[in-house]
Amino acid sequence: MLTTFGFKADYQIGHLTAGEAIGAYEFRRALDPQSKRPLVVEGKGKELLLGVTPLHGKPWAGRFQSGPEGVDGLFATPRDDTLCVVVKGRGYWVRVLEPTAYELVRVVPIKKLLRVPNRDILLFMSYTRIAAYGRDGLTWVTEDLSWDGLEITDIGETSITGTAWDSPKGRHASFLVNLETGASEGGASPGRNGLSSQ
């Protein structure tokens, strides 16, 4: 089922069986350009098999590789010809008329999606970062805001406020993110505490 967030969707979606998905487009995480192996080593997860029928184009089938954990869902976006598929926390930003030109959502695992009220912006949250996507795709990604947990408490006209988990201190730290640029203040992470994240 498609979650629209109030956006228009010029396509229809249906789940497919393995037999119906023969010859489907493959949607996978990025590969290392030299070794052609995945940049992140993970156990093999299940694939989501979808049939997509654009309002003004040819139907196609897709195999979407799952991520490590997180949200599952099909989401409309600020652009009516673009679909966002999230499988166990890995997101795919897909123009339904050009499915091979998909992009991976820049935060993994996706733990939560939110629409900015009255704006054509979707927010994707992982444990440590927030990414904003608009009509043309990625708008910005924050630096690490947390060691391992974020909560948005308010989305205003110009900024996002929330709390980030500060693991060494065992407490939450407030943060502020500029809604237009993604620039941030506050929060807690290895980099923000002068520590190496390695």
What pLDDT is stored for residue 191 in this prediction? 75
Structure confidence at residue 45 (pLDDT): 64
In a domain, 119, yes or no: no
pLDDT of residue 195: 41
At residue 190, the pLDDT reads: 81
Q: Look at residue 173 and tell me if it is in a domain.
A: no
Residue 54 lies in a domain: yes
pLDDT at 29: 81
Q: Which of 16-20, 113-117, 132-136, 180-184 shows the lowest per-residue confidence on average (mean pLDDT)?
A: 16-20
pLDDT at 21: 87
Mean pLDDT (the chain, rounded): 89
| Whole-number Å distance between alpha carbons of 125 and 113 | 6
Question: How many other C-beta atoms lie within 10 A of the C-beta of residue 37?
Answer: 9
Does any domain span residue 14?
yes
Does residue 167 or residue 129 have the better pLDDT?
129
Quote the pTM value.
0.88
Range of the domain at 74: 2-105
Query: Looking at the 3D structure of the chain, how many domains does it have?
Result: 1
- Answer yes or no: is 87 within a domain: yes
User: Do residues 143 and 190 touch, judged by C-beta distance below 8 A?
Assistant: no
> What pLDDT shows up at residue 44?
55
The pLDDT of residue 46 is 78
39-48, 56-65, 99-108, 140-149: which range is least confident on average? 39-48
| Domain contains 24 | yes
The band of 196, judged by pLDDT with boundaries at 50, 70 and 90, is very low
Model confidence pLDDT, tens digit, residues 70-102: 999 999 999 999 999 999 999 999 999 999 999
